[in-house]
A and B are shown apart, each in its own frame.
Chain A
Amino acid sequence: DVKVTQSSRYLVKRTGEKVFLECVQDMDHENMFWYRQDPGLGLRLIYFSYDVKMKEKGDIPEGYSVSREKKERFSLILESASTNQTSMYLCASSSLYADTQYFGPGTRLTVL
């Protein structure tokens, strides 16, 4: 079974803090994704990566950056957290030419 894990299920941070969300997959997948999920808006793609050290902006990259130093790990970084970044963050992975994405359990981030 594909397993995608995220470092925290719940996280509370203060405005202005630097926040790291970590995601690890164990299926040797080339593609990894970060989404945020908000009520009524579904999932929106923040960034994705199709190889180590490669990254592409998704639909809502502003205020976020990513890092992929190893194939199995994809990090989402909030350089200076703001209250409007309070959300559920979901990580996913897929193999290079496959459309099916496998999701982690999510991190619910609250920025106070």
Chain B
Amino acid sequence: AQSVTQLGSHVSVSEGALVLLRCNYSSSVPPYLFWYVQYPNQGLQLLLKYTSAATLVKGINGFEAEFKKSETSFHLTKPSAHMSDAAEYFCAVSTGKLIFGQGTTLQVKP
């Protein structure tokens, strides 16, 4: 069975600092992997997705994620956090239907 684990339910960074949100997955077949972002009182918006074309995936708003098969990871990064990045982030795996992680709330301090 497929599953997704996001390490850390809350992450706090200073404005301008590196953002690193961790995601590990388990899947018996090559997965499609996604990161979604949810701003307060809104639905989910697709940040980026991995579909086996390239291991480093660039998304919107300066985010990127690297697929590492050996580590079964798909961590999300952004070099420099902005106040507007404060939101909840979800990692998801798809092998037919989407399985979501528990979510990580990103706080950005001024």
A residues apposed to B, CB below 8 Å = 4, 9, 33, 40-45, 48, 58, 90, 92, 99-106
Contact = CB atoms under 8 A, between A and B. Distances in A.
B49 A100 contact: yes
29 contacts: A4-B43, A33-B98, A40-B9, A40-B102, A40-B103, A41-B102, A42-B100, A42-B101, A42-B102, A43-B44, A43-B90, A43-B98, A43-B100, A44-B100, A48-B97, A90-B43, A90-B44, A99-B32, A99-B34, A99-B51, A99-B94, A99-B98, A100-B46, A101-B98, A102-B46, A103-B36, A104-B43, A105-B41, A105-B43
A9 B98 CA distance: 24
Nearest first, the 8 closest Cβ-Cβ pairs linking A and B are: A103-B43, A42-B100, A103-B44, A43-B100, A99-B94, A42-B102, A105-B43, A99-B32
Contacts of A99: 32, 34, 49, 51, 94, 98
Given A99-B94, A100-B49, A105 B9 contact: no
Secondary structure class of chain B's binding surface, majority of residues: strand
| Interface footprint category on B | 20 to 34
Contacts of A100: 34, 46, 49
A104 B42 CA distance: 8
